[in-house]
């Protein structure tokens, strides 16, 4: 029996370390996100990226179709 992505996502608990469908989508954009986060970490605090929406929009232009909260969850885990 094949399950759709939504069915797998609903059946998979996200708190036990397994990835939801949206988290799989961020894997392709992880190098870009990490590069931006590492560059920000080296900047003085006042110059760091304050608009996460800008980073989200940048990966959307590259083809990301997931949701904003998945990106912010990735950044929080970083």
pLDDT score recorded for residue 1: 59
For tokens 């931006």, name the residue: 36
Does this model's pTM top 0.85? My answer is no
pLDDT score recorded for residue 61: 92
**Rounded distance between C-alpha atoms, residue 40 and residue 78, angstroms:** 12
Exposed (0-12), middle (13-18) or buried (19+): which is 66, by Cβ within 10 Å? buried
**Beta carbons of 71 and 59 less than 8 angstroms apart:** yes
pLDDT score recorded for residue 58: 87
Successive 10-residue mean pLDDT values, the chain, 78 residues: 59 52 71 86 76 82 87 83
**Rounded distance between C-alpha atoms, residue 1 and residue 71, angstroms:** 31
For the chain, the structural domain boundaries read 5-77
């Amino acid at each position: 029996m094949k399950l759709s992505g939504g069915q797998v996502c609903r059946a998979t608990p996200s708190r036990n370390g397994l990835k939801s469908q949206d988290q799989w989508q961020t894997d392709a954009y992880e190098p870009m996100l990490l590069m931006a986060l590492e560059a920000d970490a080296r900047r003085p605090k006042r110059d760091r990226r304050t608009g996460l929406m800008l980073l989200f929009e940048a990966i959307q232009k590259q083809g990301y179709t997931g949701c904003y909260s998945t990106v912010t969850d990735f950044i929080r885990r970083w």
